[in-house]
Chain A
Amino acid sequence: MRELSIPRVSRRSKHSWQGMIALLFVLVTAAASIYAFFWLKHDPNTTDLGDRLQEMSMLHPLGTDHLGRDVLTRLLLGGQQTLGYSLLALGAALLIGIPFGLISGYSRGWIDRIFMRIADAFLSFPDTIVAIVLSGLLGAGIGNLVLAIVVVKWVNYARLVRSTVLSEAQKDYVQIARTNGLSPAKIMRKHLLPHVIGHVLVLASLDLGKIILLISAFSYIGLGAQPPTPEWGAMLNDSRPYFQSRPELMIYPGLAIMSVVLLANMLGDYLRDRFDVKREVQS
Chain B
Amino acid sequence: MSLLQVNRLSKSYAPDKRVLDEVSFAIASGECLGLVGESGCGKSTLARCLLRMEATDSGSIILGGHSIERMNDRQLYPHRKKIQIVFQNPSAALNPKLKIRDSLLDPYLQYRNELRLQHFRPASDQELVRQLMEAVELPESLADRYPHELSGGQRQRVTIARAISIEPQLVVLDEPTASLDVISQGAVLQLLTRLRTELNLSYLFISHDLAAVHQMSQRIMVMKDGRLVDQFPQEQLFAESRHPYTQELISIF
Contacts and interface: CB of A to CB of B under 8 A. Distances in A.
B93 A173 contact: yes
Given A171-B92, A172-B87, A177 B97 contact: no
Contacts of A181: 77, 80-81, 110-111
Interface in A154-186: 171-173, 175-182
B97 A179 contact: no
Given A172-B89, A172-B93, A282-B96, A182 B77 contact: no
Given A181-B111, A182-B106, A282-B148, A173 B77 contact: no
A228 B195 CA distance: 75
30 contacts: A172-B87, A172-B92, A172-B93, A173-B93, A173-B94, A173-B103, A176-B93, A177-B106, A178-B53, A179-B51, A179-B80, A179-B83, A180-B80, A180-B81, A180-B106, A180-B107, A180-B110, A180-B111, A181-B77, A181-B80, A181-B81, A181-B110, A181-B111, A190-B98, A190-B102, A190-B106, A191-B95, A194-B95, A194-B98, A282-B148
Interface in A222-260: none
Give chain B's interface residue range (CB within 8 Å of chain A): 20 to 34
Interface of A: 171-173, 175-182, 190-191, 194-195, 281-282
A182 B80 CA distance: 11
Nearest to A168: B95
Nearest to B96: A282
B243 to A, nearest CB: 32
A21 to B, nearest CB: 28
B85 interface: yes
- A interface SS class: helix
A182 B106 CA distance: 9
B85 A179 contact: yes
- Which of B77, B83, B110 has the largest number of chain A CB atoms within 10 A? B110
Interface string B63-95: 000000000000001001101110101001111
Contacts of B18: none
Interface in B33-80: 51-53, 77, 80
Contact of B53 (A171, A175, A182, A190): A175
Contacts of A190: 98, 102, 106
- Which of B81, B97, B106, B107 has the largest number of chain A CB atoms within 10 A? B97
A182 B94 CA distance: 15
A195 B51 CA distance: 26
B110 A182 contact: yes
A278 B93 CA distance: 19
A173 B92 contact: yes
B98 A281 contact: no
Nearest to A173: B95
